[in-house]
Amino acid sequence: MQEYWELYMKNLEGHPASILFNAGISMETEELRSTHPTVSFVKVMLKEPNENGLLSKGEESEILFLEDKLEATMLKFRIGKYVGRIITDNTVTFLFYMQFTYNWQDFLEFALKEFDSYEITNGFSDDSEWNYYQNLLYPTAKEWQMIQNHRVCKSLKDSGDNLQIARAIEHKLYFVDFSKKDILIKELENKGFVIQNEIENEDGIKGLSFYRLDKPFYVDIDELTLDLIDTLQRNGASYDGWETSLVKS
């Protein structure tokens, strides 16, 4: 199993939620559905949540230690795989997919014996379709775009970029329905975008590159790209990301 973890924020039932999940395992879910058909959880009530119901700095080290202990014990007992955690509404929920559950209680006793001061619940149920992973942990297309946005923003910022300065930001799209090309170009131009070039990917699918002067700051680029995703979907195309130049002053 590949280890490739992503962290992002979303809204769950009206509460902000921090989601950490193993994205690398997504390539293996077809096989794992048959070998690991049971989802299990360990849910921990936070002692000192912050004002948003999320993990506070004061409690972070202990919760991360608890997480490490759960993951290490899962490997020791060889009964399943740790796939992610959800922090929301004053709780942390750790999720696993299990091969078998006959020694689930032994696993819990070994992993949690140092954490008696916490209020902890647990359980497991059949999930051979991996719905919890795919529909709760795994990001939507828009959430994935925000993950990518923030990664690029951080890279720019680490290189000394002033993210508040507007500059040309180039975007790419590929057509799902090429017959809507002219309608889409008109809508993009009405939004102030300049069409650059017609492009084609390695599979022969046609697309466009286009740009506009915008700020690549976190909130601004999220608003921009999420609006583009909606615009393109309405007009038979899919969004393929953005790039820009480094601006330090």
Averages of pLDDT over runs of 10 residues in the chain (249 residues) are 85 95 92 95 97 96 97 94 97 97 96 96 97 96 94 96 97 96 97 96 95 97 97 96 94
Q: Of 99, 89, 33, 43, nearest to 67 (Cα)?
A: 43
Question: 90 and 208: one domain?
Answer: no
Last residue of a domain, one of 104, 137, 170: 137
Last residue of a domain, one of 80, 110, 137: 137
State how far the alpha carbon of 195 is from the alpha carbons of 199, 229, 239, in Å. Answer: 11, 17, 14
Terminal CA-CA length for the chain:
44
Q: Which helix (H) or strand (E) holds 169?
A: strand 167-175
Total number of domains constituting the chain: 2
The answer as to whether 249 is a domain residue is no
Q: Is residue 86 classed as helix, strand or coil in its secondary structure?
A: strand
143's enclosing H/E stretch is: helix 141-158
> What's residue 1's pLDDT?
55
CATH number of residue 221's parent domain: 3.30.70.970
* pTM of the predicted protein model: 0.85
Q: Which residue has the tokens 């529909």?
A: 135
| Both structure tokens of 218 | 């976190």
Residue 27: what pLDDT? 87
User: Do 104 and 92 contact (CB within 8 A), yes or no?
Assistant: no
Length of the chain: 249
C-alpha angle 90/94/97, rounded to 5°?
A: 155
Clarify whether residues 20 and 120 are in a common domain: yes
Task: Provide the pLDDT for residue 57.
Answer: 95
Number of H helices, E strands in the chain: 7, 10
Contact by Cβ (8 Å): 156, 246: yes
Domain coverage including residue 201: 141-244
Q: Within this chain, do residues 235 and 157 fall inside the same structural domain, yes or no?
A: yes
Phi, psi at 45, each rounded to 5°: -80, 130
